[in-house]
């Protein structure tokens, strides 16, 4: 998905996951106070990768996917049967049609095999909540609006991952999946709507965009990328739990009223504002996407998704806290932490 992983230091094997603070210790279950585990005697606030409802939804989606593929196989099999066996001298169009249907059936069978493998793994090793614990909150400052001289939103948390819960041999590190809903051609055209610079951009292998570096404050405030009309902007993407892969347009820094009634907070905060890519593309985010990292076409981190506003998809605004600022705050606690190294 769109998480960010960090190493505690070059001498440590501890790996942290960055997410939104209200995701790591959501109200009303937790009071809005600093959570920082400084020694082994302190109680751990465990993090479950999927709650009960989310786990059920995931299992149901797997079964639904298998059901759909079986239906496709049945339909395409009927077409193959209708075309009949290969006949010497038959029309090339008939031969191509049979081959196309056979290829579709084979791909569907492979998808069923893949989903069945994941389903077996999940139901065997991830059934109970205890099995789905992946780490604990190692540091989460109290959520605050209009924080400090920059007036940003302080809403982040670090999760210390249990090493035995991660398959480090297949771990992808900081990569954002940009496939799924958006074809490779559309992704290239939309991420670089202006011909200038498009020729240098290549679709990431497997749809996994490697995170490389951070977009700094100057470029956030004054984007240099060109849209289709030659106007300066910054096109960004993310993969969230609710909306999956989406694209958006970064307009710079804006102020907005942030309400957190569960914490008694109502203040004006300054954040990065991201708007839908276009009226046809729909909202950039939705509830449940909080904690997703947002990057540009080069894989540079722009910010952490913390909030949204708007009554319709066309007027949707997503708010990000700049990653460069969060990084500064993290280094006050873990001075040697850095983005997890690139995984080939």
Domain containing 77 equals 52-125
The tokens describing 78, both together, are 């009927």
pLDDT of residue 314: 46
pLDDT of residue 179: 87
Closest of 268, 241, 273 to residue 257, by C-alpha: 268
End position of a domain, from candidates 80, 101, 125: 125
**Could you give the number of structural domains in the chain?**
2
Are 100 and 207 in the same domain?
Answer: no
Let me know if residue 83 belongs to a domain.
Answer: yes
As a whole number of angstroms, the distance between CA 137 and CA 18 comes to: 10
Are 248 and 333 in the same domain?
Answer: yes
Dihedrals φ, ψ of 100, to 5°?
-60, -45
End position of a domain, from candidates 94, 125, 156: 125
37 within 8 A of 51, measured Cβ to Cβ? no
Q: How far is CA 281 from CA 110, 181, 298, 313, in A?
A: 31, 11, 21, 9
pLDDT of residue 319: 87
Are 68 and 95 in the same domain?
Answer: yes
Closest of 185, 181, 151, 156 to residue 305, by C-alpha: 156
Are 17 and 89 in the same domain?
Answer: no
Q: pLDDT tens digits, the chain, 344 residues: what are they?
A: 578 999 999 999 999 999 999 888 776 555 667 778 777 777 888 999 888 888 999 999 999 999 999 999 999 999 999 999 999 889 999 999 999 999 999 999 999 999 999 999 999 989 999 999 999 999 999 888 777 788 888 999 999 999 999 999 999 999 999 988 899 999 999 998 887 766 678 899 999 999 999 999 999 988 888 777 778 889 999 999 888 999 999 877 766 655 555 555 556 677 888 988 888 888 898 888 889 999 999 999 999 998 776 555 544 788 899 999 999 999 999 999 999 999 88
Dihedrals φ, ψ of 121, to 5°?
-65, -45
55 within 8 A of 126, measured Cβ to Cβ? yes
Are 211 and 120 in the same domain?
Answer: no
Are 11 and 75 in the same domain?
Answer: no
pLDDT of residue 292: 93
Closest of 56, 112, 110, 102 to residue 78, by C-alpha: 102
Q: How far is CA 7 from CA 105, 200, 324, in A?
A: 44, 31, 16
H/E segment holding residue 104: helix 92-125
Are 236 and 298 in the same domain?
Answer: yes
pLDDT of residue 267: 62
Let me know if residue 318 belongs to a domain.
Answer: yes
As a whole number of angstroms, the distance between CA 43 and CA 137 comes to: 10
Domain with residue 31: its CATH number is 2.40.10.10
The count of other CB atoms within 10 Å of the CB of residue 165 is 14
Let me know if residue 130 belongs to a domain.
Answer: no
Are 90 and 196 in the same domain?
Answer: no
Helices 52-83 & 92-125, crossing angle to 10 degrees?
160
> Which residue matches tokens 């995984």?
343
Let me know if residue 331 belongs to a domain.
Answer: yes
End position of a domain, from candidates 97, 125, 153: 125
31 DSSP 8-state letter? -
Are 114 and 234 in the same domain?
Answer: no
As a whole number of angstroms, the distance between CA 287 and CA 135 comes to: 23
Let me know if residue 344 belongs to a domain.
Answer: no
Are 33 and 154 in the same domain?
Answer: yes
As a whole number of angstroms, the distance between CA 21 and CA 330 comes to: 13
160 within 8 A of 36, measured Cβ to Cβ? no
Let me know if residue 262 belongs to a domain.
Answer: yes
Beta-sheet strands, E only, within the chain: 4-7, 15-19, 35-36, 46-48, 133-140, 144-147, 152-154, 157-161, 175-177, 208-210, 225-226, 232-240, 244-260, 265-276, 293-296, 301-309, 317-322, 338-339
Let me know if residue 327 belongs to a domain.
Answer: yes
Are 181 and 249 in the same domain?
Answer: yes
pLDDT of residue 315: 47
Let me know if residue 295 belongs to a domain.
Answer: yes
pLDDT of residue 272: 87
As a whole number of angstroms, the distance between CA 279 and CA 313 comes to: 8
Q: How far is CA 312 from CA 243, 245, 286, 317, in A?
A: 15, 19, 11, 10
Give residues with Cβ within 8 angstroms of 65, minimum separation 6: 111, 115
Are 296 and 242 in the same domain?
Answer: yes
The count of other CB atoms within 10 Å of the CB of residue 155 is 30
Closest of 334, 343, 341 to residue 159, by C-alpha: 334
């Amino acid at each position: 998905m769109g998480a960010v992983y960090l190493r505690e230091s070059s001498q440590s094997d501890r790996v942290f996951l960055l997410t939104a603070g209200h995701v790591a210790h959501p109200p009303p279950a937790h009071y809005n106070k600093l959570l920082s585990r400084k020694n082994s005697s302190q109680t751990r606030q465990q993090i479950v990768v999927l709650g009960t409802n989310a786990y059920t939804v995931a299992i149901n989606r797997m079964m639904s996917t298998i059901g759909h593929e079986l239906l496709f196989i049945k339909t395409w099999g009927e077409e193959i049967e209708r075309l009949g066996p290969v006949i010497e001298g038959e029309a090339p169009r008939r031969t191509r049609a049979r081959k196309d249907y056979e290829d579709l059936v084979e791909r569907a069978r492979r998808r069923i095999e893949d989903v069945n493998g994941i389903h077996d793994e999940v139901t065997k090793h991830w059934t109970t909540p205890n099995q789905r614990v992946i780490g604990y909150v190692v540091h989460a400052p109290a959520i605050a609006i209009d924080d400090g001289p920059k007036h940003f939103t302080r809403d982040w948390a670090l999760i210390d991952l249990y090493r035995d819960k991660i398959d480090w041999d297949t771990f992808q590190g900081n990569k954002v999946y940009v496939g799924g809903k958006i074809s490779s051609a559309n992704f290239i055209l939309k991420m670089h709507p202006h011909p200038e610079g498009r020729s240098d951009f290549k679709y990431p292998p497997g749809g996994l965009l490697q995170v490389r570096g951070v977009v700094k404050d100057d470029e956030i405030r004054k984007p240099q990328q060109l849209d289709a009309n030659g106007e300066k902007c910054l096109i960004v993407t993310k993969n969230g739990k609710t909306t999956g892969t989406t694209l958006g347009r970064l307009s710079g820094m804006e102020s907005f009223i942030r309400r957190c009634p569960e914490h008694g907070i109502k203040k004006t905060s300054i954040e990065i504002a991201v708007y839908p890519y276009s009226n046809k593309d729909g909202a950039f985010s939705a509830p449940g996407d909080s904690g997703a990292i947002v990057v540009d076409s080069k894989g540079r981190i722009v910010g952490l998704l913390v909030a949204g506003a708007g009554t319709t998809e066309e007027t949707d605004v997503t708010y990000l806290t700049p990653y460069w600022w969060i990084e500064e705050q993290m280094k006050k606690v873990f001075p040697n932490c850095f983005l997890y190294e690139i995984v080939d």
